[in-house]
A and B are shown apart, each in its own frame.
Chain A
Amino acid sequence: RAAQGRAYGNLGNTQYLLGNFSEATAFHKERLAIAKEFGDRAAERRAYSNLGNAHIFLGRFDVSAEYYKKTLQLSRQLKDQAVEAQACYSLGNTYTLLQDFERAIEYHLKHLQIAQELRDRVGEGRACWSLGNAYVSLGNHEQALNFAKKHLEISQEIGDCN
């Protein structure tokens, strides 16, 4: 049964990489059910991430947000800060797609905070880039400029010419 769970996860990932997002979600839901059956919270967390990602490409941003929130909740329980940061980044981008810029900013700020704690300059740069764009969408050009400057500074430091 445990191996069946892993096989479902692998099938979900393969369908996802083939661009078959509906099929991917069906397999990841099976994977999720088996992870719950075994109380395997790490596998449950992975399934939520994979389901969130697949729903983005199905255009179901609202569903993605709910799965990413489950990922965030489990990453906190599992005390995995890198995954927590990634979940916040995903939620920030998903709320941008949902045009809820205030909520997008909340999650991007949380992502920024964790990236700073982890000394992850690439993550920090991405958070600043995202925050700059979100503040532009809200018409807050002063804050947008602050984050754009910070993004430029970090990009120069890490040698990201793009």
Chain B
Amino acid sequence: VQSVHLLQVDSVQRWMRDLKLMTECE
């Protein structure tokens, strides 16, 4: 139940979507 709940945390989902394209460049 908890993991289903977590998937509904929209602010975290949004952060992870942005994170996938975020790299600290040299």
Q: Specify the main secondary structure of chain A where it touches its partner.
A: helix
User: Which residue of chain B has the shortest Cβ distance to A86 in the bound complex?
Assistant: B22
**Cβ of A63 < 8 Å from any Cβ of B?**
no
- Residues in chain A near residue B24, CB distance under 8 A: 9, 13, 46-47, 49-50
Closest Cβ of chain A: how far from B22's Cβ, in Å? 6
Within 8 Å by CB of A13, from B10, B16, B20, B25, lies: B25
**What residues of chain A lie closer than 8 Å to B23, measured between beta carbons?**
13, 16-17, 50, 53
A132, B26: Cα distance in complex, Å = 35
Cβ–Cβ contact B9 & A56, under 8 A: no
Contact (Cβ within 8 A) B2 A9? no
Residues of chain A whose beta carbon lies under 8 Å from any beta carbon of chain B: 6, 9-10, 13, 16-17, 43, 46-47, 49-50, 53, 56-57, 89-90, 93, 96-97, 99, 126, 129-130, 132-133, 137
Q: Is B4 an interface residue (CB 8 A)?
A: no
Q: In the A-B complex, list the 4 residue pairs whose CB atoms are closest, starting with the nearest.
A: A46-B24, A13-B23, A9-B26, A6-B26
